[in-house]
A and B are shown apart, each in its own frame.
Chain A
Amino acid sequence: MSVSLFEMIVFPGFIFLGVMGMLFEYLDRIVYARLQNRKGPPWFQPFADFIKMGSKEDIIPREADSGMFVLSPLLAVTAVVVSAFYIPMWGGKALFSFFGDAVVVIYLLTIPTVAYFFAGWYSTSLYSTVGAVRTLTQLFAYEVPLFLVILAPGILANTWSLSGMAEFYSQNPLLCVTNVVGFMVAIVALQGKLERTPFDIPEAKTEIVGGTFTEYSGRLLAFLKLTHSVKTVVVAALVSAVFLPFGVEIGGVLGFAIFIVKIAVIVCILSAFKAALARIRIEQMVDFCWRYVAPAAIFQLLISMVLGALTGCGV
Protein backbone atom coordinates (compact mmCIF):
# COMPACT_ATOMS: atom_id res chain seq x y z
CA MET A 1 0.00 0.00 0.00
CA SER A 2 2.33 2.64 -1.15
CA VAL A 3 1.46 5.83 -2.86
CA SER A 4 3.59 7.60 -5.42
CA LEU A 5 4.47 11.22 -5.16
CA PHE A 6 2.58 11.86 -8.38
CA GLU A 7 -0.59 10.35 -6.95
CA MET A 8 -0.23 12.30 -3.78
CA ILE A 9 0.46 15.69 -5.26
CA VAL A 10 -1.04 15.73 -8.73
CA PHE A 11 -3.63 13.08 -9.41
CA PRO A 12 -5.93 12.28 -7.70
CA GLY A 13 -4.22 14.16 -4.91
CA PHE A 14 -3.77 17.74 -3.99
CA ILE A 15 -3.72 19.60 -7.30
CA PHE A 16 -6.52 17.64 -8.94
CA LEU A 17 -8.74 18.06 -5.90
CA GLY A 18 -7.82 21.73 -5.59
CA VAL A 19 -8.80 22.43 -9.18
CA MET A 20 -11.99 20.44 -8.79
CA GLY A 21 -12.74 22.24 -5.55
CA MET A 22 -12.39 25.62 -7.16
CA LEU A 23 -14.47 24.68 -10.18
CA PHE A 24 -17.26 23.48 -7.95
CA GLU A 25 -16.88 26.57 -5.81
CA TYR A 26 -17.51 28.52 -8.99
CA LEU A 27 -20.56 26.39 -9.72
CA ASP A 28 -21.84 26.99 -6.20
CA ARG A 29 -21.30 30.73 -6.47
CA ILE A 30 -22.88 31.09 -9.89
CA VAL A 31 -25.94 29.00 -8.96
CA TYR A 32 -26.31 30.96 -5.71
CA ALA A 33 -25.98 34.23 -7.63
CA ARG A 34 -28.50 33.24 -10.30
CA LEU A 35 -30.98 32.18 -7.61
CA GLN A 36 -30.55 35.61 -6.05
CA ASN A 37 -31.06 37.34 -9.37
CA ARG A 38 -27.43 38.37 -9.57
CA LYS A 39 -24.96 37.92 -12.39
CA GLY A 40 -22.35 36.01 -10.43
CA PRO A 41 -18.58 35.78 -10.84
CA PRO A 42 -16.61 34.68 -13.93
CA TRP A 43 -15.34 31.07 -13.96
CA PHE A 44 -11.80 31.95 -12.89
CA GLN A 45 -12.89 33.93 -9.82
CA PRO A 46 -12.02 31.23 -7.22
CA PHE A 47 -8.55 30.81 -8.82
CA ALA A 48 -8.03 34.56 -8.86
CA ASP A 49 -9.08 34.79 -5.22
CA PHE A 50 -6.67 32.02 -4.31
CA ILE A 51 -3.73 33.61 -6.14
CA LYS A 52 -4.48 37.04 -4.72
CA MET A 53 -4.84 35.83 -1.16
CA GLY A 54 -1.73 33.71 -1.55
CA SER A 55 0.30 36.76 -2.51
CA LYS A 56 -0.73 38.66 0.61
CA GLU A 57 1.18 38.91 3.83
CA ASP A 58 0.46 36.41 6.60
CA ILE A 59 -0.33 38.16 9.83
CA ILE A 60 -0.06 36.07 12.98
CA PRO A 61 -1.52 37.78 16.03
CA ARG A 62 0.96 38.40 18.85
CA GLU A 63 -1.32 36.68 21.32
CA ALA A 64 -1.88 33.61 19.19
CA ASP A 65 -0.04 30.32 19.51
CA SER A 66 1.91 30.63 16.26
CA GLY A 67 2.66 26.90 15.96
CA MET A 68 -0.95 25.78 16.10
CA PHE A 69 -2.03 28.83 14.14
CA VAL A 70 0.05 27.74 11.15
CA LEU A 71 -0.37 24.00 11.63
CA SER A 72 -4.17 23.89 11.79
CA PRO A 73 -4.87 24.85 8.14
CA LEU A 74 -2.25 22.36 6.94
CA LEU A 75 -3.71 19.63 9.12
CA ALA A 76 -7.14 20.36 7.69
CA VAL A 77 -6.06 20.26 4.06
CA THR A 78 -4.02 17.08 4.55
CA ALA A 79 -6.85 15.21 6.19
CA VAL A 80 -9.25 16.11 3.42
CA VAL A 81 -6.88 15.09 0.63
CA VAL A 82 -6.04 11.79 2.33
CA SER A 83 -9.69 10.92 2.81
CA ALA A 84 -10.23 11.40 -0.94
CA PHE A 85 -7.98 8.39 -1.64
CA TYR A 86 -10.50 6.05 -0.05
CA ILE A 87 -13.55 7.33 -1.90
CA PRO A 88 -14.46 5.58 -5.16
CA MET A 89 -14.98 8.26 -7.77
CA TRP A 90 -15.16 6.50 -11.12
CA GLY A 91 -13.81 3.36 -12.71
CA GLY A 92 -14.94 1.06 -9.91
CA LYS A 93 -12.54 1.22 -7.03
CA ALA A 94 -10.95 3.90 -4.95
CA LEU A 95 -7.19 4.33 -4.91
CA PHE A 96 -7.09 2.34 -1.69
CA SER A 97 -9.77 0.33 -0.09
CA PHE A 98 -10.01 -2.16 2.69
CA PHE A 99 -12.75 -3.53 4.84
CA GLY A 100 -13.90 -0.65 7.06
CA ASP A 101 -12.53 2.29 5.12
CA ALA A 102 -15.93 4.02 5.46
CA VAL A 103 -15.18 4.50 9.14
CA VAL A 104 -11.70 5.81 8.36
CA VAL A 105 -13.08 8.32 5.87
CA ILE A 106 -15.67 9.59 8.30
CA TYR A 107 -12.98 10.10 10.94
CA LEU A 108 -10.63 11.74 8.46
CA LEU A 109 -13.39 14.12 7.49
CA THR A 110 -13.87 15.06 11.13
CA ILE A 111 -10.26 16.19 11.38
CA PRO A 112 -10.78 19.43 9.41
CA THR A 113 -13.57 20.40 11.76
CA VAL A 114 -11.34 19.78 14.75
CA ALA A 115 -8.55 21.66 12.97
CA TYR A 116 -10.92 24.58 12.50
CA PHE A 117 -11.60 24.43 16.20
CA PHE A 118 -7.85 24.59 16.96
CA ALA A 119 -7.42 27.37 14.44
CA GLY A 120 -10.10 29.42 16.16
CA TRP A 121 -9.12 28.51 19.69
CA TYR A 122 -5.41 29.27 19.28
CA SER A 123 -6.14 32.59 17.55
CA THR A 124 -7.26 33.68 21.04
CA SER A 125 -9.42 36.40 19.55
CA LEU A 126 -12.85 36.62 21.16
CA TYR A 127 -14.71 36.20 17.91
CA SER A 128 -12.69 33.17 16.84
CA THR A 129 -13.05 31.59 20.26
CA VAL A 130 -16.81 31.87 20.09
CA GLY A 131 -16.66 30.56 16.52
CA ALA A 132 -14.48 27.64 17.59
CA VAL A 133 -16.83 26.65 20.36
CA ARG A 134 -19.72 26.85 17.95
CA THR A 135 -17.86 24.64 15.46
CA LEU A 136 -17.54 21.89 18.06
CA THR A 137 -21.09 22.28 19.35
CA GLN A 138 -22.31 21.90 15.82
CA LEU A 139 -20.07 18.87 15.22
CA PHE A 140 -21.86 16.96 17.97
CA ALA A 141 -25.20 17.72 16.38
CA TYR A 142 -24.65 16.62 12.77
CA GLU A 143 -21.86 14.05 13.09
CA VAL A 144 -23.92 11.27 14.64
CA PRO A 145 -26.70 11.30 12.02
CA LEU A 146 -24.12 11.50 9.24
CA PHE A 147 -22.21 8.55 10.66
CA LEU A 148 -25.37 6.49 10.96
CA VAL A 149 -26.60 7.09 7.44
CA ILE A 150 -23.24 6.52 5.79
CA LEU A 151 -23.01 3.15 7.53
CA ALA A 152 -26.64 2.14 6.95
CA PRO A 153 -26.17 1.19 3.26
CA GLY A 154 -23.22 -0.88 4.36
CA ILE A 155 -25.51 -3.17 6.32
CA LEU A 156 -27.33 -4.13 3.17
CA ALA A 157 -24.14 -4.41 1.14
CA ASN A 158 -22.54 -6.47 3.87
CA THR A 159 -19.38 -4.40 3.75
CA TRP A 160 -18.03 -1.32 5.44
CA SER A 161 -15.80 -0.51 2.58
CA LEU A 162 -16.91 2.41 0.43
CA SER A 163 -15.74 0.75 -2.76
CA GLY A 164 -17.61 -2.37 -1.77
CA MET A 165 -20.80 -0.43 -1.14
CA ALA A 166 -20.52 1.37 -4.46
CA GLU A 167 -19.98 -1.92 -6.25
CA PHE A 168 -22.91 -3.60 -4.50
CA TYR A 169 -25.37 -0.81 -5.25
CA SER A 170 -24.29 -0.34 -8.83
CA GLN A 171 -25.07 -4.02 -9.32
CA ASN A 172 -28.41 -3.72 -7.53
CA PRO A 173 -29.47 -0.16 -8.45
CA LEU A 174 -33.06 -0.70 -7.28
CA LEU A 175 -31.93 -1.13 -3.69
CA CYS A 176 -30.73 2.47 -3.76
CA VAL A 177 -34.34 3.54 -3.44
CA THR A 178 -34.37 2.20 0.11
CA ASN A 179 -31.71 4.73 1.04
CA VAL A 180 -33.70 7.85 0.13
CA VAL A 181 -34.22 8.84 3.77
CA GLY A 182 -30.52 8.42 4.35
CA PHE A 183 -29.71 10.60 1.38
CA MET A 184 -31.90 13.39 2.71
CA VAL A 185 -30.34 13.12 6.15
CA ALA A 186 -26.89 13.19 4.56
CA ILE A 187 -27.73 16.37 2.63
CA VAL A 188 -28.85 18.08 5.85
CA ALA A 189 -25.78 16.91 7.74
CA LEU A 190 -23.54 18.02 4.88
CA GLN A 191 -24.70 21.59 5.35
CA GLY A 192 -23.54 21.35 8.92
CA LYS A 193 -20.25 19.74 7.96
CA LEU A 194 -19.55 22.31 5.28
CA GLU A 195 -20.80 25.15 7.49
CA ARG A 196 -23.24 26.43 4.95
CA THR A 197 -26.44 28.38 5.45
CA PRO A 198 -28.62 27.56 7.39
CA PHE A 199 -25.85 25.98 9.48
CA ASP A 200 -23.11 28.56 8.87
CA ILE A 201 -23.33 29.45 12.54
CA PRO A 202 -19.55 29.18 13.31
CA GLU A 203 -18.76 31.88 10.77
CA ALA A 204 -21.87 34.02 11.13
CA LYS A 205 -20.32 37.28 10.03
CA THR A 206 -22.97 39.61 11.40
CA GLU A 207 -22.50 38.13 14.86
CA ILE A 208 -18.87 37.15 15.27
CA VAL A 209 -17.19 38.84 12.29
CA GLY A 210 -15.25 36.04 10.59
CA GLY A 211 -15.91 33.43 13.26
CA THR A 212 -13.20 30.82 13.45
CA PHE A 213 -11.11 32.45 10.74
CA THR A 214 -11.31 36.05 11.97
CA GLU A 215 -7.57 36.34 12.55
CA TYR A 216 -6.43 34.53 9.42
CA SER A 217 -5.03 36.32 6.42
CA GLY A 218 -2.85 35.75 3.39
CA ARG A 219 -1.67 32.27 2.46
CA LEU A 220 -3.11 30.59 5.52
CA LEU A 221 -6.55 31.98 4.77
CA ALA A 222 -6.15 30.93 1.15
CA PHE A 223 -5.41 27.40 2.36
CA LEU A 224 -8.39 27.41 4.67
CA LYS A 225 -10.64 28.51 1.82
CA LEU A 226 -9.12 25.88 -0.43
CA THR A 227 -9.69 23.24 2.22
CA HIS A 228 -13.27 24.32 2.30
CA SER A 229 -13.69 23.92 -1.46
CA VAL A 230 -11.91 20.58 -1.51
CA LYS A 231 -13.98 19.42 1.42
CA THR A 232 -17.13 20.23 -0.53
CA VAL A 233 -16.00 17.99 -3.41
CA VAL A 234 -14.78 15.17 -1.19
CA VAL A 235 -17.89 15.09 0.95
CA ALA A 236 -20.12 15.31 -2.10
CA ALA A 237 -18.11 12.44 -3.65
CA LEU A 238 -18.60 10.43 -0.47
CA VAL A 239 -22.35 10.95 -0.53
CA SER A 240 -22.58 10.21 -4.23
CA ALA A 241 -20.52 7.03 -3.81
CA VAL A 242 -22.80 5.80 -1.07
CA PHE A 243 -26.19 6.99 -2.24
CA LEU A 244 -25.84 7.60 -5.99
CA PRO A 245 -23.43 4.88 -7.15
CA PHE A 246 -24.85 4.74 -10.69
CA GLY A 247 -22.18 4.15 -13.27
CA VAL A 248 -19.38 4.00 -10.76
CA GLU A 249 -17.94 0.98 -12.52
CA ILE A 250 -17.59 2.91 -15.80
CA GLY A 251 -14.10 4.20 -16.26
CA GLY A 252 -12.46 6.65 -18.60
CA VAL A 253 -13.88 9.92 -19.85
CA LEU A 254 -17.52 8.78 -19.60
CA GLY A 255 -17.06 7.70 -16.00
CA PHE A 256 -15.44 10.99 -15.16
CA ALA A 257 -18.35 12.88 -16.77
CA ILE A 258 -20.87 10.89 -14.74
CA PHE A 259 -18.89 11.63 -11.60
CA ILE A 260 -18.85 15.37 -12.37
CA VAL A 261 -22.60 15.39 -12.98
CA LYS A 262 -23.30 13.66 -9.67
CA ILE A 263 -21.17 16.10 -7.71
CA ALA A 264 -22.72 19.00 -9.58
CA VAL A 265 -26.21 17.81 -8.65
CA ILE A 266 -25.29 17.65 -4.98
CA VAL A 267 -23.60 21.07 -5.06
CA CYS A 268 -26.66 22.56 -6.77
CA ILE A 269 -28.96 21.11 -4.11
CA LEU A 270 -26.73 22.65 -1.43
CA SER A 271 -26.73 26.01 -3.24
CA ALA A 272 -30.49 25.99 -3.46
CA PHE A 273 -30.74 25.40 0.30
CA LYS A 274 -28.27 28.18 0.91
CA ALA A 275 -30.31 30.59 -1.17
CA ALA A 276 -33.68 29.65 0.26
CA LEU A 277 -32.98 29.61 3.98
CA ALA A 278 -31.93 31.95 6.75
CA ARG A 279 -29.20 31.12 9.23
CA ILE A 280 -30.64 29.62 12.39
CA ARG A 281 -29.40 29.92 15.95
CA ILE A 282 -27.00 27.36 17.39
CA GLU A 283 -29.49 25.98 19.89
CA GLN A 284 -32.14 25.73 17.19
CA MET A 285 -29.65 23.85 15.05
CA VAL A 286 -28.76 21.35 17.79
CA ASP A 287 -32.42 20.96 18.62
CA PHE A 288 -33.34 20.35 14.99
CA CYS A 289 -30.58 17.79 14.48
CA TRP A 290 -31.41 15.74 17.54
CA ARG A 291 -35.16 16.00 17.24
CA TYR A 292 -35.61 15.31 13.52
CA VAL A 293 -32.38 14.40 11.77
CA ALA A 294 -31.04 11.83 14.24
CA PRO A 295 -34.37 9.90 14.45
CA ALA A 296 -34.55 9.93 10.66
CA ALA A 297 -31.05 8.46 10.55
CA ILE A 298 -32.05 5.72 12.97
CA PHE A 299 -35.15 5.07 10.87
CA GLN A 300 -32.88 4.58 7.84
CA LEU A 301 -30.76 2.17 9.84
CA LEU A 302 -33.86 0.18 10.77
CA ILE A 303 -35.01 0.03 7.15
CA SER A 304 -31.64 -1.34 6.11
CA MET A 305 -31.57 -3.90 8.92
CA VAL A 306 -35.09 -5.17 8.24
CA LEU A 307 -34.42 -5.35 4.51
CA GLY A 308 -31.15 -7.10 5.18
CA ALA A 309 -32.91 -9.70 7.30
CA LEU A 310 -35.66 -10.19 4.70
CA THR A 311 -33.41 -10.52 1.67
CA GLY A 312 -30.71 -12.31 3.52
CA CYS A 313 -27.95 -10.22 2.06
CA GLY A 314 -27.28 -8.26 5.25
CA VAL A 315 -24.74 -8.87 7.94
Chain B
Amino acid sequence: MANEQAIQQELQEKFPYFGEKITISSERRIWAEVASSNFFEAFDYIVKKMNFSMLCLIIGLDSGDNLEFIYNLSRYDGTMLNLKTFVPKTNPVHKTVTADYFPGAELYERELVDCFGARIEGLPEGNRYPLPDTWPEGQYPLRKDWTPDMLDKQPEGK
Protein backbone atom coordinates (compact mmCIF):
# COMPACT_ATOMS: atom_id res chain seq x y z
CA MET B 1 0.00 0.00 0.00
CA ALA B 2 3.12 2.21 0.09
CA ASN B 3 2.57 3.27 -3.46
CA GLU B 4 -0.96 4.42 -2.79
CA GLN B 5 0.08 6.30 0.34
CA ALA B 6 2.79 8.10 -1.59
CA ILE B 7 0.20 9.27 -4.09
CA GLN B 8 -2.07 10.37 -1.26
CA GLN B 9 0.70 12.36 0.38
CA GLU B 10 1.87 13.96 -2.83
CA LEU B 11 -1.62 15.19 -3.58
CA GLN B 12 -2.22 16.42 -0.04
CA GLU B 13 1.01 18.40 -0.09
CA LYS B 14 0.46 19.85 -3.51
CA PHE B 15 -3.20 20.71 -3.03
CA PRO B 16 -4.00 21.41 0.61
CA TYR B 17 -7.73 21.44 -0.08
CA PHE B 18 -7.74 17.69 -0.54
CA GLY B 19 -7.05 17.23 3.18
CA GLU B 20 -9.05 14.36 4.56
CA LYS B 21 -11.03 14.03 1.38
CA ILE B 22 -8.53 11.64 -0.14
CA THR B 23 -8.82 8.07 1.04
CA ILE B 24 -7.54 4.63 0.11
CA SER B 25 -10.29 2.05 0.06
CA SER B 26 -8.19 -0.97 -0.87
CA GLU B 27 -5.15 -1.93 -2.81
CA ARG B 28 -4.85 0.19 -5.98
CA ARG B 29 -8.02 2.17 -5.25
CA ILE B 30 -7.77 5.82 -4.21
CA TRP B 31 -10.76 8.10 -3.84
CA ALA B 32 -10.51 11.88 -3.86
CA GLU B 33 -13.03 14.67 -3.75
CA VAL B 34 -12.58 18.15 -5.14
CA ALA B 35 -14.81 21.19 -5.65
CA SER B 36 -15.61 21.91 -9.28
CA SER B 37 -13.77 25.23 -9.13
CA ASN B 38 -10.51 23.43 -8.29
CA PHE B 39 -11.21 20.41 -10.45
CA PHE B 40 -9.12 21.19 -13.50
CA GLU B 41 -6.10 22.28 -11.50
CA ALA B 42 -5.99 18.94 -9.73
CA PHE B 43 -7.03 16.97 -12.82
CA ASP B 44 -4.26 18.50 -14.90
CA TYR B 45 -1.64 17.69 -12.30
CA ILE B 46 -2.83 14.13 -11.81
CA VAL B 47 -3.01 13.36 -15.50
CA LYS B 48 0.09 15.12 -16.71
CA LYS B 49 2.47 14.98 -13.75
CA MET B 50 1.40 11.86 -11.91
CA ASN B 51 1.03 9.61 -14.96
CA PHE B 52 -2.60 8.75 -14.54
CA SER B 53 -2.86 8.72 -18.27
CA MET B 54 -5.86 6.47 -18.77
CA LEU B 55 -9.44 7.58 -18.26
CA CYS B 56 -11.45 4.43 -17.59
CA LEU B 57 -14.83 5.99 -17.11
CA ILE B 58 -16.77 9.07 -16.11
CA ILE B 59 -19.60 8.14 -13.79
CA GLY B 60 -22.55 10.45 -13.35
CA LEU B 61 -24.66 10.33 -10.22
CA ASP B 62 -27.65 12.16 -8.92
CA SER B 63 -26.87 13.05 -5.28
CA GLY B 64 -29.81 15.18 -4.25
CA ASP B 65 -29.22 18.83 -5.08
CA ASN B 66 -26.04 18.16 -6.93
CA LEU B 67 -24.89 16.11 -9.86
CA GLU B 68 -21.83 14.13 -8.96
CA PHE B 69 -19.20 13.20 -11.52
CA ILE B 70 -16.54 10.62 -10.79
CA TYR B 71 -13.54 10.53 -13.11
CA ASN B 72 -11.82 7.17 -12.92
CA LEU B 73 -8.20 7.73 -13.78
CA SER B 74 -5.76 4.87 -13.97
CA ARG B 75 -2.10 4.20 -14.39
CA TYR B 76 -0.82 1.36 -16.51
CA ASP B 77 0.23 -0.48 -13.33
CA GLY B 78 -3.40 -0.81 -12.29
CA THR B 79 -3.55 1.96 -9.67
CA MET B 80 -6.83 3.78 -9.95
CA LEU B 81 -7.65 7.26 -8.70
CA ASN B 82 -11.32 8.18 -8.57
CA LEU B 83 -11.69 11.93 -8.64
CA LYS B 84 -15.11 13.19 -7.57
CA THR B 85 -16.58 16.56 -8.20
CA PHE B 86 -20.01 18.16 -7.78
CA VAL B 87 -22.03 20.63 -9.79
CA PRO B 88 -25.38 22.07 -8.65
CA LYS B 89 -28.46 20.77 -10.48
CA THR B 90 -29.68 24.31 -10.96
CA ASN B 91 -26.64 25.12 -13.06
CA PRO B 92 -25.02 21.82 -14.08
CA VAL B 93 -22.11 23.18 -16.07
CA HIS B 94 -18.73 21.51 -16.35
CA LYS B 95 -15.89 21.77 -18.81
CA THR B 96 -15.04 18.99 -21.21
CA VAL B 97 -11.97 16.81 -20.89
CA THR B 98 -12.10 15.71 -24.52
CA ALA B 99 -10.35 18.80 -25.85
CA ASP B 100 -7.15 18.78 -23.83
CA TYR B 101 -6.85 15.37 -22.25
CA PHE B 102 -8.90 12.41 -23.45
CA PRO B 103 -10.62 12.56 -26.85
CA GLY B 104 -11.88 9.06 -26.07
CA ALA B 105 -14.11 10.42 -23.30
CA GLU B 106 -16.64 11.80 -25.78
CA LEU B 107 -19.25 9.09 -25.22
CA TYR B 108 -19.05 9.36 -21.43
CA GLU B 109 -19.65 13.09 -21.61
CA ARG B 110 -22.51 12.72 -24.08
CA GLU B 111 -24.08 10.29 -21.67
CA LEU B 112 -23.84 12.89 -18.89
CA VAL B 113 -25.58 15.34 -21.19
CA ASP B 114 -28.33 12.95 -22.27
CA CYS B 115 -29.02 11.06 -19.07
CA PHE B 116 -28.34 13.70 -16.42
CA GLY B 117 -28.91 16.96 -18.21
CA ALA B 118 -25.42 18.21 -17.54
CA ARG B 119 -24.05 20.95 -19.77
CA ILE B 120 -20.56 20.11 -20.86
CA GLU B 121 -18.80 23.16 -22.20
CA GLY B 122 -16.53 22.64 -25.15
CA LEU B 123 -17.98 19.27 -26.18
CA PRO B 124 -18.07 19.33 -29.97
CA GLU B 125 -21.38 19.14 -31.82
CA GLY B 126 -22.30 15.63 -32.78
CA ASN B 127 -24.82 12.84 -32.61
CA ARG B 128 -26.62 12.18 -29.36
CA TYR B 129 -25.70 9.25 -27.21
CA PRO B 130 -27.38 7.08 -26.00
CA LEU B 131 -30.91 8.41 -26.39
CA PRO B 132 -32.76 8.68 -29.71
CA ASP B 133 -32.91 11.95 -31.62
CA THR B 134 -36.62 12.19 -30.93
CA TRP B 135 -36.21 12.03 -27.16
CA PRO B 136 -38.23 14.83 -25.52
CA GLU B 137 -36.48 17.88 -24.05
CA GLY B 138 -35.96 18.12 -20.33
CA GLN B 139 -36.24 14.43 -19.55
CA TYR B 140 -33.13 13.03 -17.95
CA PRO B 141 -33.71 9.33 -17.30
CA LEU B 142 -30.89 8.65 -14.86
CA ARG B 143 -31.91 11.41 -12.44
CA LYS B 144 -33.57 9.98 -9.37
CA ASP B 145 -36.79 11.95 -9.83
CA TRP B 146 -37.35 10.54 -13.32
CA THR B 147 -39.76 7.64 -13.74
CA PRO B 148 -40.60 5.85 -16.97
CA ASP B 149 -44.26 6.91 -16.95
CA MET B 150 -43.13 10.52 -17.36
CA LEU B 151 -42.31 9.52 -20.91
CA ASP B 152 -45.67 7.92 -21.59
CA LYS B 153 -47.42 11.06 -20.40
CA GLN B 154 -45.75 13.10 -23.12
CA PRO B 155 -48.28 14.73 -25.41
CA GLU B 156 -48.55 13.09 -28.80
CA GLY B 157 -46.62 14.39 -31.76
CA LYS B 158 -44.11 16.26 -29.71
Do any CB atoms of chain A lie under 8 A from CB atoms of chain B in the complex? Answer: no
> Taking beta carbons and an 8 Å cutoff, which residues of B are in contact with A?
none
Q: Chain A residues in contact with chain B, CB under 8 A?
A: none
